[in-house]
Amino acid sequence: MSKIDHLKEIKISGVGASPGICIGKAYLVDREGVEVVEKYFIDEKKIEREKKRFRNAVRKARDELKAIIDNTPEEIRQHSNIFEIHVVLMKDKMLYGKTLDTIEKEHVNAEWALKTVVSNVRSIFRNMEDDYFKERASDIVHVTDRIMRNLVGAEMVSISDIDKRVILVAHDLSPTDTSQIQLERIKGFVTDRGGRASHTSIIARALEIPAILGLGNATDIIHNDEVIIVDGTTGVVIINPTEQSLIEYEERKNAYEEKKALIARTGRILAETTDGIRMQVMGNIELPEEVVSVIDYGGSGIGLYRTEFQYLSRPYFPSELELFEKYKDVVEIMSPKSVTIRTLDINGDKAVDYTAGSEEDNPALGLRAIRYCLRNPEIFKTQLRAILRATAFGNVRILFPLISNFEEIMEAKAILNGVAESLDKEGVPFKKDVEIGIMIEVPSAVIMADIMADAVDFFSIGTNDLIQYSLAIDRGNRQTAHLYQPFNPAIIRMIRHVSDVSKDKGIETYMCGEMAGDPIAIPILLGLGLSELSMNPQSIPVAKQMIRLLDSSEAKLFMKEVLKQTTAKEVMDLLQNTYGSLISDTIYSDQ
């Protein structure tokens, strides 16, 4: 396809995946893979040879990946489980086994067999509700691309070989590609595909370079060596900028960087409102290694440790010892600050063989999280033993996800008590008075909060799922993204109800969904009396700064006005009119 010629400045927008601004020359990377795959039939006698050719291509692809893992710098290693997912996927029954079967049964060439199998597997993953599993669809594409290139003998472009100061422009970048980025050369990147929940964007944020994903046709519009401006905060790319835009964005970039450095330096300052109300601002982590950024950004603890990542990145269930060692590390490093360990929040994942059970038509409403654990008590007990053993090394809280009825709390607690008894008998040390909480992320839990409060020590509101289940909006569906509204009055009323009930019952309500890390939401959360917010570590300094600018009694009065509003837009307008000037003092301002 020939490129669109342009001499004038053009603006395109996508998903701002990692904030910040960079200005530089575009470097187009062809990551589209092997597009044209021919089909041909294989003679019965040559089937074994064809299967061997496929196995060799997979082996070569695995060796390449393993070499990448070995050469990955330490700071990126913390995310190397992503490459391990890729290594595991290569040998996954659905991909590997089915391709071999297809070659054998249909007498077709390996490339064709792989292509057909992959398109089926990909659609299974894409139809999964959970963003995490949806993202596995793109992991499958990256893995297949690598195997396919080995089958057809095509060369992979190596990002680590780029020796100029450039901005990468790619159709798609796998997490592996992204991890090869050398910070002294690559200023940022933009891609046609991908979304904010992808691992590629997680790594971009970990590297702290500007990135925009999901631009649709950036590789069609942008020419090699053309000057572009990438504003990862707003998701805007400016191609062939005018002199005026260059000056403007250079200024914005400097202002952003100054402000970021300034705010990061304030991370350690307490989050206390102007009238002396202290809020705890905590970090969410997926992997134990992320603890360092929670500490660096000034987090007062871990408000959500999403333990499922340790299960998803491997070919079999982790042992109690493996889990214990990881939990112990996190708990010891953070001690005496608290670490909220959420028990396994997994659904019917087919990417990892050992969790395979049944295919679900509607995984969002299926055997997920606590439901999965109660159905598989041995897996649950192994994790609970590891968590309880870790309690001896610091300050642990246990959090049960996706609670939708009272029995689930009772059953989960009964299993926990059983585990505690057996540890006691074995003479293994652990804390007896560990706090137990539940995620409030299903509307039935909101309605039953008064009853549930009697059975637990704290609530943690998971707005990501609460919004999805309350407003009936798939959190990963682009078509309905405009209806995914944290400021919908229904959501605000639910948070208020949970907070009020917990106060009556004398327990605390925390929040660990994405809403907690949005500085513009903080006046509402403070006004509703939430005492602890947990978020992506990088958001901590800004959230703390925002809290320091607020007055809690004003926020309470403001809430009265908020509750009179009838639409999300009205709430947002009210927020903007009342707190807009404070927001513009934070890093999110438009400079």
**Binding interface with ligand PEP (CB under 6 A):** 304, 306, 345, 441, 462-465, 512-513
Distance between CA atoms of 380 and 55, rounded to whole angstroms? 36
* Residue 528 binding target from Mg ion, ligand PEP, none, CB below 5 to 8 Å by type: none
Count of C-beta atoms within a 10 Å radius of residue 270: 13
The dihedral formed by the CA atoms of 301, 303, 308 and 314, expressed in degrees to the nearest 10 = -20
Residue indicated by tokens 């003092």:
585
Question: For residue 336, is the peptide bond before it cis, meaning its omega torsion is within 30 degrees of 0?
Answer: yes
* Residue 116 binding target from Mg ion, ligand PEP, none, CB below 5 to 8 Å by type: none
In the complex with Mg ion, the residue whose CB is nearer, 408 or 441, is 441
Residue indicated by tokens 């509607």:
362
Q: Are 507 and 457 in contact (CB under 8 A)?
A: yes
Residues 6+ apart with CB under 8 A from 87: 62, 65, 66, 69
Give the closest residue to 230 by CA, choosing from 245, 212, 244, 243.
212
Residue 86 is among the residues annotated as catalytic for this protein: no
Q: How far is the CB of 304 from ligand PEP (least distance, A)?
A: 6
* Residue 306 binding target from ligand PEP, Mg ion, none, CB below 5 to 8 Å by type: ligand PEP
The DSSP call for residue 378 is H
Q: CA end-to-end span of the chain, whole Å?
A: 38
Long-range contacts of 427-431 (CB under 8 A, 24+ apart): 428/389, 429/389, 429/392, 430/388, 430/389, 430/391, 430/392, 431/388, 431/391, 431/392, 431/396
Q: Which residues inside 445-504 make contact with Mg ion, applying CB under 5 A?
A: 462, 465
In the complex with Mg ion, the residue whose CB is nearer, 310 or 586, is 310
Distance between CA atoms of 63 and 128, rounded to whole angstroms? 30
Q: What are phi and psi of 298, to 5 degrees?
A: 90, 25
The neighbouring-strand residues paired with 397 are 340, 435
Residue indicated by tokens 């990881």:
326
Residue 199 is among the residues annotated as catalytic for this protein: yes
Give the closest residue to 413 by CA, choosing from 399, 393, 392.
399
Given the residues 22, 171, 199, 373, the one annotated as active site: 199
Q: How far is the CB of 464 from ligand PEP (least distance, A)?
A: 3
In the complex with ligand PEP, the residue whose CB is nearer, 21 or 512, is 512
Distance between CA atoms of 197 and 213, rounded to whole angstroms? 10
CB closest to Mg ion, residue no? 465
In the complex with ligand PEP, the residue whose CB is nearer, 145 or 345, is 345
* Amino acid in position 297: Y
Give the closest residue to 188 by CA, choosing from 172, 211, 214.
211
Residue indicated by tokens 């040879």:
49
State the DSSP H helix or E strand holding residue 496, giving kind and residue range, or none if neither. helix 489-505
Q: Are 212 and 190 in contact (CB under 8 A)?
A: yes
Distance between CA atoms of 106 and 521, rounded to whole angstroms? 56
In the complex with ligand PEP, the residue whose CB is nearer, 323 or 403, is 403
In the complex with ligand PEP, the residue whose CB is nearer, 306 or 389, is 306
Angle 61-142-147 (CA atoms, 0-180°, nearest 5)?
Answer: 30
Residue indicated by tokens 């059953």:
411
In the complex with Mg ion, the residue whose CB is nearer, 131 or 322, is 131
Q: If binding is defined by CB under 5 A, does position 514 make contact with Mg ion?
A: no
Point out which span in 269-277, 296-304, 440-448, 483-491 binds Mg ion (CB under 5 A).
440-448
Q: Are 312 and 351 in contact (CB under 8 A)?
A: yes
Q: Is 171 helix (H, G, I), strand (E, B) or coil?
A: coil
Distance between CA atoms of 244 and 228, rounded to whole angstroms? 13
Q: Which residues are catalytic?
A: 199, 512
Binding residues for Mg ion, rule: CB under 5 A, are 441, 462, 465
